[in-house]
Structure 1
Amino acid sequence: MSGTTRSGSQAIDRALAVLGRFEGDRALGLTDLATESGLPLSTTHRIVGALCRNGYLVRDADAYRVGPRVQALVHRSDSAVDEVMPQLYAVAAGVGLAVSLGVQGRSTVVRVASARPPVEHSACQLPAEREPLHATAMGKVLLAFSPEGPAAAVRRLGELESFTARTSTSYAELVAQLAEVRRRGFASADAERVDGVREIAVPVLGSGGVVAALGVRARSKRLTDELAVRVLPPLRHAATEVGKRIQVLDRVG
């Protein structure tokens, strides 16, 4: 790899690190932005200048906010999600469980949509907006089918946080689980994020490979092995339909 390629890749990584600090309508000053990004102030200043010139950030008094080009990307993503909501509601009604669609963030799975079933359901069926990749079924799907390979994807996570007694915190153990996910074509997580809650998820295939994960979760006593077997076929069918309608779901920071 040439020095030019390495420096170009580094510049992109740094720009993404800066953009990743902005969530919602958050505004950040240059010093805070440099501190949170872990970059020198002078480097941050150059990156922010380039992002402003290209419309990704705008200056607001002594702080910066996301610009029109980022907002356009968000609007495109919202439109894409609207396209697949009928499939999500159909499978939710069929299996009697809430169904969620997630994409990969830096170290989390980000829930971009959920469809509730037309029957009474527990609040535990809806994941948080961001959940740890290594302790959730949707997260394991995204790690298992990562373009860089599951081993490298796990390595990027750093130390694996423990949430319950069943959370996988061993690098080797998690990589072995992901190999099984790739073999079976689905992932499960039983009481790994929340005690007493089980999850099942399948990959969503786009033109560039696996771009998202589709999953359900419920109390372990509700989502039994028998129900999991019944849920997988309609979940896989919905994932196929979602994949047909969304060519690319960009990763988010």
Structure 2
Amino acid sequence: MSPKIEDGRVVGAQTVARAFAVLRLFRDQGGDLGVGAVAKELGLNLSTTHRIVRALVAEGFLAQNEDNERYYLGTGALLLGQAAHSNFGLDVVYPALQALAASTGESVNLGVLAGEIAVVVERIESVQPLRFTQPPGTRVPLHASSMGKVLLAFNADVERRTLKGVNRLDRITPKTHATAASLRADLAMTRARGWSTDDEESSLGVRCVAAPICDSAGVARAAIAVQAPAVRMPDARFDELGPQVATAAKEISTLLPPGHSF
């Protein structure tokens, strides 16, 4: 049966969008929430919020804590996440991420392209007491991160779409590239050596090295990055870590089944 359409819009699309917004809120908050808090965060009225929450409970994507009447992500969300984890090939690549974290002593991220940003989908935390936290689900700017820049450098379509007609770039820190020309020079260097750097461009005090995970055509669909506090990553360590990260990224690309796309 085809969806009902009125005035060019799919009937019920707004409700679906709101349900996804509720699920994203629970994902990002990482704890239980009451209906009032959900309504306030999303700018919805209480009755609408309650209907959406109850529908998600009925489908198993939310569950209710009977002690405080708050809600939390249910088994439906867990099973969906596990299926996505497997479909992304994360079970296969996780050992390689662990090995890179162990050999470098630093945190390791796996990120994938999601439109005009990159999203962290897996992370291995450093055992060091001083570290930067960037949990799965974190949205990463393409122009101001090692992961984002390596995705731009090895995906011509994304680079063209991101920088077309752009002269000035949003500066997140004083070290972020301010112009498209400056960023393009960085991307050319990244392509030449096979890995990128982030010299406190997205967060002051944090430096990173990343390499692309490419498909059979050599196009980057994902990337891995090693993060460390700037005090543990002087310039010389960029040259040490770059080849290590690039080797790990190539290993991961060989582990994925033919035709796999993040």
Q: Give TM class, smaller chain.
A: 0.5 to 0.7
How far is the alpha carbon of 1:89 from its aligned partner? 3.8
1:133 to 133, 140, 159: 140
Decide whether aligned partners of structure 1 residues 16 and 129 sit closer, same or farther in structure 2, where only a CA change above 3 A counts.
Answer: same
- What is the total number of aligned residue pairs between the two structures? 234
Correspondence for 1:237: 250
2:120 to 110, 122, 126: 110
How far is the alpha carbon of 1:92 from its aligned partner? 4.8
Q: Is this contact kept in 1: 2:35–2:70, CA < 8 A?
A: yes
How far is the alpha carbon of 1:128 from its aligned partner? 3.0
For the residues of structure 2 that align with 1:3 and 1:180, how far apart are their CA atoms? 45
Q: Does 1:166 align with 2:170?
A: no
Correspondence for 1:188: 197
Normalised TM-score (structure 2): 0.63
Decide whether aligned partners of structure 1 residues 75 and 136 sit closer, same or farther in structure 2, where only a CA change above 3 A counts.
Answer: same
How far is the alpha carbon of 1:56 from its aligned partner? 0.6
Correspondence for 2:77: 70
Q: Which has the larger radius of gyration?
A: 2
Correspondence for 1:60: 65
**1:108-137 CA distance string (max 9 Å, x none):** 843623276xxx97844x643265512432
Structure 2 unaligned spans of 5+: 163-168
**1:166-203 CA distance string (max 9 Å, x none):** 135x6x7499659948x937543211134454322234
1:15 to 13, 19, 23: 19
Aligned residue for 1:20, secondary structure, equals helix
Decide whether aligned partners of structure 1 residues 26 and 138 sit closer, same or farther in structure 2, where only a CA change above 3 A counts.
Answer: same
Decide whether aligned partners of structure 1 residues 59 and 6 sit closer, same or farther in structure 2, where only a CA change above 3 A counts.
Answer: same
Correspondence for 1:227: 240
**Identical amino acids, percent of aligned pairs:** 30
Structure 1 unaligned spans of 5+: 153-158
Q: Is this contact kept in 1: 2:35–2:46, CA < 8 A?
A: yes
Normalised TM-score (structure 1): 0.64
Query: Quick one: higher RCO (CA 8 Å, sep 6+), 1 or 2?
Result: 1
What letter is aligned with 2:76? R
